[in-house]
Amino acid sequence: MEKQTIPHLAENQSEESPKKSWIVANKGNIAFVVMFILLILGSYAYSYKKKAAENDVVAIRENAEKFIKENLVPPGTDLKLSDFTKEGNLYKLNIAVGSQNIVAYLTEDGKKFFPQVIDMDKKSDLAGAPGGAKAFAEATVKKDVPEVELFVMSRCPFGVQAEKGILPVVEKMGSKINFKVRFVSYTLHGKPEFDDNLNQYCIQKEEPNKFNDYLGCFAKEGDFAKCATSTKINKAKITACISSTDKQFKLTENFSASGQTSPFNIDKELNDKYGVKGSPTLIVNGQTLNAGRDSASLMKTICSGFTNQPEECKATLSADTPTPGFGTGSSAAASPSAGTPSCGT
């Protein structure tokens, strides 16, 4: 029996050996085919994920541009995102506004917008105020009647925001401070801003008792004619002032109709003296001060310029930050920082 069984098993083994031999002989080819198939599948999966990620980036970019146009600049402003790139865990945006280029940042999910960030490796960034000069939180120069100067561009949304915040302070302080609106020595928002700068300069000069009311109206409406009428501005006086001021400072002569930016040199000497570069810039007693744009923060900052603070400095004003640009509305106050947004080159 054993002699008959053993040949039978050997016969079966001899039948299977060619199959095993083929597998053994072609094991390398089989592995290559499997790897090739896996690579193809992986490539398709990668391409799909990459395409989905690209679609997400496009959507984030479009939403960012929409947010900026609807909330941070006046309607009709010539604005576009000239670049949108990944930088670390943030997106870096290059925003072209006319001839001005502004760098801002956005979180990866597109939900948090940073008009500016501070590079911790560059300590010089901490000394940069919105105006370009070194800014202090409180005035170290004291006066019995503080000199308060707010440098703006009339159609800069952040300048308008600061005006909305400071006007309640000016109203509360009255003659206890000497307040003036000054103008940055260039415009960024075309002919409308050029005209409104002139309008405001002349209203402040010719109708000082009506200026704050006019400015409050303009910050909400953005309409010179409407606000001049509602605050009973003498338009003939303003027209005459505009004509003489234009000639004195050669404003129209130097105006560039080809772009958004033009010189506006009415307050150029003061711009140079204080190192003003952007809108808004707050100067108290000749010092650039870095304040929040809510009324409570501005009151505290301005009151730091008194030799002896009056009772008005104890007043409780709103701690809500006005929204940028024309209109009403506010949000929770933000702490002042070098990253506070401004209009400037």
Do 152 and 187 reside in the same domain of the chain?
Answer: yes
Q: Which two tokens stand for residue 267?
A: 């307050």
Q: How confident is the model at residue 230 (pLDDT cuts 50, 70, 90)?
A: very high
Do 145 and 191 reside in the same domain of the chain?
Answer: yes
Question: How confident is the model over 260-291, as pLDDT tens digits?
Answer: 688 999 999 999 999 998 999 999 999 999 99
By residue count, the chain amounts to: 345
**Does 164 score more than 80 pLDDT?**
yes
Question: How confident is the model over 64-75, as pLDDT tens digits?
Answer: 888 877 766 656
User: Given the DSSP bridges, would you call strands 113-114 and 100-107 parallel, antiparallel or unpaired?
Assistant: antiparallel
Do 130 and 64 reside in the same domain of the chain?
Answer: no
Which amino acid is it at 73? V
Do 200 and 61 reside in the same domain of the chain?
Answer: no
Q: Which two tokens stand for residue 200?
A: 């405001």
Q: In the beta sheet, which residues pair with residue 107?
A: 90
Which of 9-13, 77-81, 304-308, 334-338 is predicted most confidently? 304-308
- HSE-up of residue 9 (Cα within 13 Å, Cβ side): 6
Domain endpoint, select from 96, 117, 138: 117
Do 80 and 221 reside in the same domain of the chain?
Answer: no
Dihedrals phi, psi of 178, to nearest 5 degrees? -110, 100
Range of the domain at 339: 126-344
What's the mean per-residue pLDDT of the chain?
Answer: 81
Residue with tokens 């002349």: 202
* Domain presence at residue 34: no
Q: How confident is the model at residue 234 (pLDDT cuts 50, 70, 90)?
A: very high
Distances (CA, A) of 187 to 198, 248, 325: 11, 18, 16
Question: How confident is the model over 37-65, as pLDDT tens digits?
Answer: 666 666 555 554 555 556 678 888 888 88
pTM: 0.67
Number of structural domains (the chain) is 2
Residue with tokens 């109206």: 217
Do 188 and 278 reside in the same domain of the chain?
Answer: yes
| Residue 281's CATH number | 3.40.30.10
**Does 137 score more than 60 pLDDT?**
yes
Do 102 and 218 reside in the same domain of the chain?
Answer: no
> What mean pLDDT comes out for the span 8-35?
57
**131 or 98, greater pLDDT:** 98
Q: How confident is the model at residue 30 (pLDDT cuts 50, 70, 90)?
A: low
